[in-house]
């Protein structure tokens, strides 16, 4: 223990960096749980879609969406979500799974939904990339 204290005293920058990295790790693991947003892996998302009638909200831009999306997903680009959130009102009592390419934009969409009173909000962890890596289908048909 004495050596640890001496090391920390001799290298405060490294000790501070270690503290920041550990803090970020804890935040990344607990952040979603504290916010009430539940991350879902693709297999969990398919169960929610098939058994609880969940809605998939795709927040990618038009061009990305046209390249392939989850069947029956509702498409509202993140940049337009605050203006068009009313389109989701009819789904308020159903689980909503937000998706994007990698899971980052959909996380912001989940936060917007929670702030607007939606309770059953989930983020597709890894986004469409994870969906494809799980060998789940995409469609190019217009919904």
Residues annotated as part of the active site? 100
Element (H, E) at 99: strand 96-99
Closest CA to 131 of 19, 10, 43: 43
Read off the tokens for 26: 């804890």
Residues sharing a CB contact under 8 Å with residue 88, sequence separation 6 or more, in sequence order: 55, 57, 74, 76, 96, 113, 118
The 10 Å Cβ neighbour count of residue 50 is 9
The 10 Å Cβ neighbour count of residue 112 is 16
| Pairwise CA distance, residues 9 & 14, whole Å | 10
């Amino acid at each position: 223990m004495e050596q640890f204290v001496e090391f920390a005293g001799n290298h405060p920058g490294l000790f501070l960096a270690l503290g920041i990295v550990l803090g970020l790790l804890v935040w990344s693991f607990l952040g979603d749980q504290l916010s009430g947003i539940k991350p879902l892996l693709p297999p969990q998302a398919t169960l929610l879609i098939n058994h609880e009638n969940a809605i998939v909200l795709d927040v990618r831009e038009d061009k990305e969406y046209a390249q392939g999306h989850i069947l029956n997903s509702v498409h509202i680009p993140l940049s337009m979500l605050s203006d068009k959130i009313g389109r989701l009102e009819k789904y308020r009592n159903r689980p909503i799974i937000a998706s994007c390419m990698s899971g980052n934009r959909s996380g912001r969409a989940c936060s917007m939904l929670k702030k607007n009173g939606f309770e059953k909000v989930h983020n597709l962890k890894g986004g469409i990339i994870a969906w494809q890596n799980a060998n789940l289908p995409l469609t190019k048909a217009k919904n």
